[in-house]
Amino acid sequence: MQAILMVLVLVFAAEGQQSNPQENPAEHHAAVTTRGEHVMGFSQEKTMHHFLLYKDGGVISVTANDPKDMQSRDMIRMHLSHIAGMFAAGDFNAPMLIHGTTPPGVPAMTELKKQIRYRYHDIDSGGQVRIQSVNPKAVAAIHEFLRFQIKEHETGDSGEIEAGTEH
């Protein structure tokens, strides 16, 4: 998977498909969606992303819109389980490819990678990555990262810190 991501980095860089600061919001979202499908390996139209913030971190959750869509469910699970391992190693190439920029929070999350825990779990119709830390600087970076994802993926999630700490 990392080899594929590196090839995609080179392809996107060569084709100039990085985000253009002058793009209008609709063009930017379309570009994020297109790059997301390439990097994640599943349809962004057939799936739903959610990003929740908790006092100790948060959750990245992706589900298939149709509970009978086993192909999307399986691709989500494969992608998110891989992402959990990549993020734990300080590798944030996937979100950089998808968004065409380094997401806010990533530099601190990379620097503090040993103080952040990433746990993948299967959920109905998809999967989730629970991100946790006891380090306030790491938690602030996680929240920055998740709020950026909410905006970029247009999920409608509140971006407010919730009381929940499941998983």
For the chain, how many structural domains are there in total? 1
Print the domain residue range for 47: 2-162
Q: 19-78, pLDDT tens digit by residue?
A: 445 568 888 778 777 786 767 888 889 999 999 999 999 999 999 999 999 999 999 999
The answer to whether position 33 is within a domain reads yes
Helix (H, G, I), strand (E, B) or coil at 156: coil
Give every strand in the sheet of 117-123, ordered side by side: 117-123, 126-132, 57-64, 47-54, 161-162
Based on the number of CB atoms within 10 Å of its own CB, is 160 exposed (0-12), middle (13-18) or buried (19 or more)? exposed
Rounded Cα–Cα distance for residues 158 and 137 (Å): 21
Question: Is this structure's pTM higher than 0.85?
Answer: no
